[in-house]
């Protein structure tokens, strides 16, 4: 284990969006709290898989006995930032039975006919689950702000509605972990080029990515504004530098570990006479 350096402080603290946070000031190449290199990081990710899986199983187990705790990981990012890799390489350690994953695409005509939170409410995780939103209700204050699909007044209403929605979820037992994966504009260019050059990645390339890329600065403003308005005590944002994929993965893994640990999970003790049951099994 000598090789796999550990974090020298809690990512939940280091990466948290607090008062005065500036997205512009954060270097997407940096690795806050972690002095190791890529091989160390990969080893750490591997090493903590079992711990993450055990905590998730405890969460699931509690819910079978009436527990209402659950996790909701909200993932937001510019295209190519690595949301998919987080889902595969971090969430992949968990039992799929306990993971409730939802990708939010552009809303359908029917979804648009409702309030923006309508389709979100239907996907909140059940008790005992680790829910993951791959994109989320934040699109309604990000792309909508960038392209002015919503008025400034409507955006203000939405920030308030989001805080109220998230407070309700928290009240129902949900620990919300909000993560923005932060890449640089140059890194996105390199990743788009890589998609074009690799037959195994070409299918992921979309001209639409290029279109949104043209609004980079507006997106950064929209993220900053969303952080200012919705990074609350109950549901703070975390910005994870993501130019180094391996760092983003260990950072999100740590955030999930910390979130699960904060729930003080216990193995449930079913109401049964273990000695009697053992005897029955032995005689069976």
- Contacts with its own copies, residue ranges (CB under 8 A): 53-54, 57, 61, 64-65, 84, 87-88, 91-93, 95-97, 99, 101, 103, 134, 189, 192-193, 196-197, 199-200, 202-205, 207, 210, 213-214, 267-270, 272, 274, 277-278, 280-282, 284
Smaller CB separation from its own copies, 93 or 180: 93
CB of 48 to its own copies, least distance (A): 15
Between 137 and 191, CB nearer to its own copies: 191
Cβ closest to its own copies, residue 19 vs residue 211: 211
Of 179, 194, 207, 192, whose CA–CA distance to 72 is shortest?
A: 179
Residue 178 CB, nearest distance to its own copies (Å)?
A: 19
On whether the CB atoms of residues 63 and 102 are closer than 8 A, the answer is no
Say if CB 43 and CB 147 are below 8 A apart: no
Give the residue among 147, 149, 145, 140 at the shortest CA–CA distance from 120. 140
Cβ distance to its own copies smaller for residue 25 or 269: 269
Task: Pick between residue 18 and residue 84 the one whose CB is nearest to its own copies.
Answer: 84
Edge-to-edge strand list for the sheet holding 130-134: 99-103, 130-134, 70-77, 174-182, 237-241
- Residue 58 CB, shortest distance to its own copies, in Å, is 8
Q: Would the CA dihedral through 98, 77, 22, 231 be positive or negative?
A: negative
CB-based burial of residue 132 (10 Å sphere; 0-12 exposed, 13-18 middle, 19+ buried)? buried
Closest approach of its own copies to the CB of residue 62, in Å: 8
**Structure tokens that stand for 206 in this block:** 């979309």
Nearer Cβ to its own copies (25/272): 272
Closest CA to 86 of 254, 265, 258, 261: 254
Two structure tokens written together for 54: 């055990």
Shortest Cβ 130–its own copies spacing (Å): 11
Least spacing, CB of residue 268 vs its own copies, in Å: 5
């Amino acid at each position: 284990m000598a090789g796999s350096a550990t974090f020298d402080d809690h990512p939940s603290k280091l990466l948290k969006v607090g008062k005065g946070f500036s997205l512009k000031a954060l270097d997407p190449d940096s690795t806050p709290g972690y002095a190791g290199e890529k091989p160390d990081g990969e080893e750490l990710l591997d090493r903590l898989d079992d711990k993450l899986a055990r905590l998730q199983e405890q969460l699931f187990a509690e819910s079978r006995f009436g527990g209402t705790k659950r996790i909701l990981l909200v993932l937001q990012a510019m295209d190519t930032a690595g949301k998919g890799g987080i889902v595969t390489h971090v969430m992949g350690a968990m039992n799929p039975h306990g993971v409730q994953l939802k990708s939010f695409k552009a809303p359908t005509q029917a979804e648009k006919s409702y309030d923006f939170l309508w389709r979100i409410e239907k996907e909140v995780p059940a008790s005992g689950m680790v829910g993951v939103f791959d994109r989320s209700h934040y699109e309604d204050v990000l792309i909508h702000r960038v392209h002015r699909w919503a008025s400034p007044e409507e955006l203000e209403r939405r920030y308030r509605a989001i805080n109220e929605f998230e407070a309700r979820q928290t009240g129902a037992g949900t620990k919300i972990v909000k993560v923005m994966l932060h890449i640089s504009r140059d890194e996105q260019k390199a990743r788009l080029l890589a998609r074009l050059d690799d037959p195994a990645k070409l299918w992921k390339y979309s001209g639409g990515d290029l279109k949104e890329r043209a609004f980079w600065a507006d997106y950064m403003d929209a993220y900053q504004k969303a952080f200012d308005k919705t990074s609350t005590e109950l549901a703070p944002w975390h910005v994870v530098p993501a130019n180094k994929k391996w760092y983003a993965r260990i950072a999100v893994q740590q955030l999930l570990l910390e979130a699960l640990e904060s729930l003080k999970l216990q193995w449930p003790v079913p109401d049964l006479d273990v000695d009697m049951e053992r005897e029955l099994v032995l005689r069976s």
